[in-house]
Chain A
């Protein structure tokens, strides 16, 4: 029966090619299954929140009850049973951590498997990292060093305790609780996330980073990130995500709000590698995320860079509201969809201030039976005189069973503004493949090279270490899609 065993092993090997698909055995403390006003109260109580925040959550919950799920995206999935999700799950016996030595060793091992040993990270990379495991933030490195400059980088649950005025002023200011169905849900049940505040004139000396990990079965992850950058300040923020491999779908509905004051800049980079489900589309993460930057100040700048390779379904439109005169919004995106993955992603650029400028570079790669949609809105409002937008959407198809779709919405209300939209769709040509093969590259090397070339304009926007990881990730995501 050797052959049979071999077959089984092979199947297992193929099926588990998602290398982050392990589960960590940790005792978890969960809220009862499902969602109700009591659960919202439970979460708020667990977090020892002030009354105003509980009231805010309950308001969001009521709004959510009255809302409908959006149905305009080009994605198909069975209706989500919101009563079959755990809204709070925390590794049990989480003591107050004074140093990394006190972090559960199992948890540290998980991060090592993810390739981000916390301790090494601390010393080597010069990256300050916040780790969000299921619902709670586990450790934030480098805090003291940042605090010297007046920078606050901590879990948002801590910010609620220690910096309530800032949180109260800005939470929901960019994405109101009733903005959309999933944002309302997040507002009601968010459990943790990162909080960043950079004071006037401070350029944050290192990349700040959060690593998100969904571990528990049937649990949703609803993190909330809030970044505020004062006049003349700068921060670069990185976000990475993985999840174990499970047969059922898991929901990730995050909210990220950015606020940029005069002459400030926020650079927000994401490498998203949630479990995409198996080849037939079983399992995987539903990534329904609302991200928006408010360029409040004059000449402020918000720049989104995303490399999306994971998730069964991606529904995500990181946007910029260009309120301040001469403010700048940028969106650089690579979205890879293979096998049965579905991605509907893009951006919104809302030009309100004068002489505002936005750039959109979107690269969609579809392989297998995947469907990949770019959906973007450029809105130039009446007073946004002299504003400009440039949009470029390129789609690359690998194989003949996948699809690429481009859906731009352009609302122009000012004659002096200029909006440009370019779109291309191409395939990896046989000529290109043959040329690479003739130089001795194998099919996978060749595909990876051509695809990374296609994405280059976006990749060069990523911080160096992140770009290397993202390149590998794209190669892995497309393995076996050619030849």
Chain B
């Protein structure tokens, strides 16, 4: 059984068709990349999966580990093990990074029937994971994403992913705003979390991220449908010929 199953997803925004029948099956242990030109529906797809208000499916279905997500609110989906790394992480003035992480982790643990971590155990765990992402203690004391550089924001996203241990992670344009060094840190962080029980969907415009996070499958999204699927070589083809060749051929 697939860990994430998207069946014939249709979605409209302001009466405009954005997703026109997306189907995708992601198994445990796999990394999928979804590539596409601007306006192809990539970000809409990630919001739809995460359950953002206003991004409800017109038609179709999504299943996480066999369970339908359609009737679930965003927070329920998150607690069930769906994680979205934001393209533009949101600032939360005055909300300390450490307390935010703890609330999030304990919400997930509670859902899983695990005991909530006490303060000390949590701080220890958070520091361990944070050091892997080159996130300093000082950064965890600051307000979430406030005054963070582009690289810091993305590192903090991946740190949250590491702490929450989701079943399926969707990385929305995680490479945007990153220089080469930051890209490496973030990619290493993601790769460290690849295992046989989870799955990762990387949404990206450029091929360069896929040099670091090497996908098992690549899908090309255009006008709200997947027009072509293949292996990592498909991304190289995009890099070489652009999207237009593929789109015209489809």
Q: Are A438 and B53 in contact (CB-based, < 8 A)?
A: no
A146 CB, min distance to chain B CBs, angstroms: 34
* Across-interface contacts of A446 in B (CB, < 8 A): 75
Q: Are B89 and A435 in contact (CB-based, < 8 A)?
A: yes
* Across-interface contacts of B91 in A (CB, < 8 A): 432
B104 on interface, CB distance cutoff 8 Å? yes
CB-CB contacts of B73-96 with A at 8 A, as 1s and 0s?
111001100011010011111110
On whether A439 and B90 interact (CB within 8 A), knowing A434-B74, A449-B95, the answer reads no
* Across-interface contacts of A452 in B (CB, < 8 A): 94-95
A429 CA to B53 CA, complexed, in Å: 13
Say which residue of A430, A442, A454 sits within 8 Å of B75 (CB atoms): A442
On whether A432 and B92 interact (CB within 8 A), knowing A437-B74, A441-B103, A441-B107, the answer reads yes
Which residues of A (272-314) have their CB < 8 Å from a CB of B?
none
Q: Which residue of A lies closest to B94 (CB)?
A: A453
On whether A434 and B53 interact (CB within 8 A), knowing A439-B160, A453-B93, the answer reads yes
Which residues of B (86-129) have their CB < 8 Å from a CB of A?
86, 89-95, 99-100, 103-104, 107-108, 111
> Mostly helix, strand, loop or mixed at chain A's interface?
helix
A455 on interface, CB distance cutoff 8 Å? yes
A445 CA to B91 CA, complexed, in Å: 17
> Which among A434, A438, A442 has the greatest number of chain B C-beta atoms within 10 A?
A438
* Across-interface contacts of B107 in A (CB, < 8 A): 439-442, 445
* Across-interface contacts of B73 in A (CB, < 8 A): 437
Say which residue of A431, A449, A454, A456 sits within 8 Å of B90 (CB atoms): A431
B136 on interface, CB distance cutoff 8 Å? no
Say which residue of A429, A435, A455 sits within 8 Å of B94 (CB atoms): A455
Inter-chain residue pair count (beta carbon < 8 A): 72
A412 on interface, CB distance cutoff 8 Å? no
Q: Which residue of A lies closest to B79 (CB)?
A: A440
A443 on interface, CB distance cutoff 8 Å? yes
B78 CB, min distance to chain A CBs, angstroms: 4
* Across-interface contacts of B89 in A (CB, < 8 A): 435
Say which residue of B78, B94, B100 sits within 8 Å of A437 (CB atoms): B78
A419 on interface, CB distance cutoff 8 Å? no
On whether A450 and B92 interact (CB within 8 A), knowing A440-B104, A441-B103, A441-B107, the answer reads yes
A442 CA to B107 CA, complexed, in Å: 9
On whether A440 and B164 interact (CB within 8 A), knowing A432-B90, A445-B107, the answer reads yes
Which residues of B (130-189) have their CB < 8 Å from a CB of A?
143, 160, 164
Q: Which residue of A lies closest to B93 (CB)?
A: A453
* Across-interface contacts of A429 in B (CB, < 8 A): 90
A122 on interface, CB distance cutoff 8 Å? no
Q: Are B75 and A443 in contact (CB-based, < 8 A)?
A: yes
* Across-interface contacts of B164 in A (CB, < 8 A): 439-440
A476 CB, min distance to chain B CBs, angstroms: 17
Interface residues on chain B, size class: 20 to 34
* Across-interface contacts of A431 in B (CB, < 8 A): 90
* Across-interface contacts of B228 in A (CB, < 8 A): none
Interface residues on chain A, size class: 20 to 34
A432 CA to B53 CA, complexed, in Å: 13
A434 CA to B43 CA, complexed, in Å: 14
A259 CB, min distance to chain B CBs, angstroms: 34
A440 CA to B161 CA, complexed, in Å: 12
B113 CB, min distance to chain A CBs, angstroms: 14
> Which among A432, A435, A445 has the greatest number of chain B C-beta atoms within 10 A?
A435
B50 on interface, CB distance cutoff 8 Å? yes
A247 CB, min distance to chain B CBs, angstroms: 36
A457 on interface, CB distance cutoff 8 Å? yes
Q: Are A439 and B52 in contact (CB-based, < 8 A)?
A: no
* Across-interface contacts of A437 in B (CB, < 8 A): 51, 73-75, 78
A456 CA to B141 CA, complexed, in Å: 13
Q: Are B94 and A454 in contact (CB-based, < 8 A)?
A: yes
On whether A435 and B78 interact (CB within 8 A), knowing A440-B108, A445-B103, A449-B100, the answer reads no
A455 CA to B73 CA, complexed, in Å: 28
* Across-interface contacts of A430 in B (CB, < 8 A): 53
Q: Are A449 and B50 in contact (CB-based, < 8 A)?
A: no
* Across-interface contacts of A438 in B (CB, < 8 A): 50, 74-75, 78, 83-84, 86
Other A-B pairs, 4, CB within 8 Å; known A432-B92, A452-B95:
A434-B52, A437-B73, A438-B83, A441-B104
Interface residues of B, Cβ cutoff 8 Å to A: 50-53, 73-75, 78-79, 83-84, 86, 89-95, 99-100, 103-104, 107-108, 111, 143, 160, 164
Interface residues of A, Cβ cutoff 8 Å to B: 429-432, 434-443, 445-446, 449-450, 452-457
